[in-house]
């Protein structure tokens, strides 16, 4: 192995935030073979020490695909007229929460397109009130809202919130969104969530058109700056019915494979991001995003082996799954939640880890900060 890489890995493992942005970038540019193995095993060792070889489960409910936004990369963006829109009734979301509780998942994520307004705010409040007695750790991922709305949902029982910044580079953000979408507001929302007392999760997509390794290294430094508790990151996967759907759009982060990167190239970039983030932040929760599984059957297990410690099994009724395709190749479109559970259990046992059944799986970083 390159001695320079060995030195960075050793330095990073000593304590959180011990390496520079340039050194993070060096980790992200590690090629195949020995170097990559060394990167993943160093990240895995830090994970084992900081959070344990235990996987936390979050049952994921895709509560609706109605969205006021038009992010250029997203399959359910407002302008995609091919999508059949749905909003799950409260009873069905509550039934999903009951399923998660019965299966002993310990926690739940309610995600949807972005809707603002009193009716929707109250709808979510009502759902939260109805599931409170189940004792699940509840995460919301419902986009940008006012601080007042975040505070109301927190008071109604939500403990965590996931809002990816998507990229920490405002200029790149501007190229990926219509002019009406604001990077500054997104970051202000992250601050508001922190003020409201949430465990705050953020993240980015890796491999976006125009994104460089320098951008990605800066993203990881940004997670540290805003002191995130949870990171949800995934590879960007083009969706053909979106303006960024052309798979040959150039992503300099892929180096020599910048034009038309393969699925494996996209997956490996996502895995390098997980490993470098674990090596930089140590004790945060990091999700092995479903997008990893869209690129390879064992993508999520490879995510765990690169330093992730959270998996979000989809517990949405299969009748909705085809209508919630943010990217192409979404896995398990026809698999009922109970099948997912058995399949995951086997996969996780196969890599020698255990599932933290029945626990909220709070971010150790958050607990330490409190
Ligand atoms: N509307 C909410 C939550 C749903 S979108 C929000 O935007 O925060 C959840 C995440 O899906 C987004 O943050 C984005 O990072 C990811 N996503 C959207 N389109 C994607 C694509 N083509 N490839 C990979 N991830 C994508
Ligand atoms: Fe809507 Fe989220 Fe997709 Fe943007 S990423 S279009 S906010 S669902």
138 lines ligand 2 (CB under 6 A): no
The C-alpha angle 242, 245, 250, rounded to 5 degrees, equals 135
Question: What is the reported pLDDT for 205?
Answer: 98
Question: What is the reported pLDDT for 6?
Answer: 97
Compute φ and ψ for 335, nearest 5 degrees.
-95, 120
Question: What is the reported pLDDT for 345?
Answer: 86
CA distance from start to end of the chain: 40
Q: Which ligand is nearest to the CA of 71?
A: 2
Question: Ligand 1: which residue has its CA nearest to atom 19?
Answer: 74
Which has the closest alpha carbon to 232: 191, 204, 270? 204
- Judging by beta carbons within 10 Å of its beta carbon (0-12, 13-18, 19+), is residue 273 exposed, middle or buried? buried
**pLDDT in single tens digits along all 370 residues of the chain:** 789 999 999 999 999 999 999 999 999 999 878 999 999 999 999 999 999 999 999 999 999 999 999 999 999 999 999 999 999 999 999 999 999 999 999 999 999 999 999 999 999 999 999 999 999 999 999 999 999 999 999 999 999 999 999 999 999 999 999 999 999 999 999 999 999 999 999 999 999 999 999 999 999 999 999 999 999 999 999 999 999 999 888 899 998 888 889 999 999 999 999 999 999 999 999 999 999 999 999 999 999 999 999 999 999 999 999 999 999 888 888 888 777 778 888 899 999 998 988 888 888 899 888 8
Question: Ligand 1: which residue has its CA nearest to atom 11?
Answer: 326
Which has the closest alpha carbon to 237: 207, 271, 198? 207
Distance CA(229)–CA(220), nearest Å, equals 13
Please state, as a whole number, how many other Cβ atoms lie within 10 Å of the Cβ of residue 125.
Answer: 17
Question: What is the reported pLDDT for 118?
Answer: 98
Question: What is the reported pLDDT for 360?
Answer: 82
205, 245, 247, best to mutate for ligand 1 pocket (most atoms within 8 Å of CB): 205
Question: What is the reported pLDDT for 260?
Answer: 85
């Amino acid at each position: 192995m390159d001695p320079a890489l060995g030195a960075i890995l050793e330095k990073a493992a000593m304590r959180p935030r011990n390496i520079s942005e340039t050194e993070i970038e060096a980790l992200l540019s590690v090629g195949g073979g020995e170097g990559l193995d060394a990167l993943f095993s160093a990240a895995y060792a830090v994970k084992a020490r900081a959070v344990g070889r235990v996987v936390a489960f979050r049952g994921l409910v895709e509560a609706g695909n109605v969205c006021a936004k038009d992010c250029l990369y997203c399959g359910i963006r407002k302008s995609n007229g091919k999508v059949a829109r749905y909003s799950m009734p409260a009873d069905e979301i509550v039934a999903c929460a009951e399923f998660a509780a019965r299966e002993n998942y310990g926690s739940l994520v309610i995600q949807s397109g972005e809707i603002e307004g009193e009716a929707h705010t109250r709808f979510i409040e009502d759902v939260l009130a109805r599931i409170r007695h189940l004792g699940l750790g509840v995460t919301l991922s419902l986009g940008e809202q006012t601080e007042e709305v975040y505070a109301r949902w927190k008071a109604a029982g939500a403990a965590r919130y996931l809002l990816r910044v998507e990229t920490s580079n405002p200029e790149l953000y501007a190229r990926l969104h219509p002019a009406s979408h604001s990077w500054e507001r997104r970051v202000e929302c992250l601050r508001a969530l922190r003020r409201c007392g949430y465990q705050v999760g953020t993240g980015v997509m890796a491999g976006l058109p125009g994104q460089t390794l320098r951008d990605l290294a800066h993203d990881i430094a940004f997670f540290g700056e805003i002191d995130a508790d949870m990171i949800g990151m995934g590879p960007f996967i083009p969706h053909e019915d979106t303006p960024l759907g052309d798979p040959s759009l150039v992503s300099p982060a892929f180096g020599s494979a910048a034009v038309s990167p393969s699925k494996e190239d996209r997956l490996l970039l996502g895995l390098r991001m997980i490993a470098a983030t674990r090596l930089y932040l140590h004790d945060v929760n990091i999700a092995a995003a479903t997008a990893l599984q869209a690129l390879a059957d064992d993508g999520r297990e490879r995510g765990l082996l690169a330093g992730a410690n959270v998996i979000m099994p989809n517990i949405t009724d299969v009748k909705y799954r085809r209508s919630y395709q943010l990217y192409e190749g979404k896995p398990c479109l026809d698999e009922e939640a109970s099948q997912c559970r058995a399949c995951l259990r086997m996969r996780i046992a196969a890599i020698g880890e255990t599932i933290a059944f029945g626990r909220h799986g709070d971010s150790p970083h958050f607990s330490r900060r409190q």
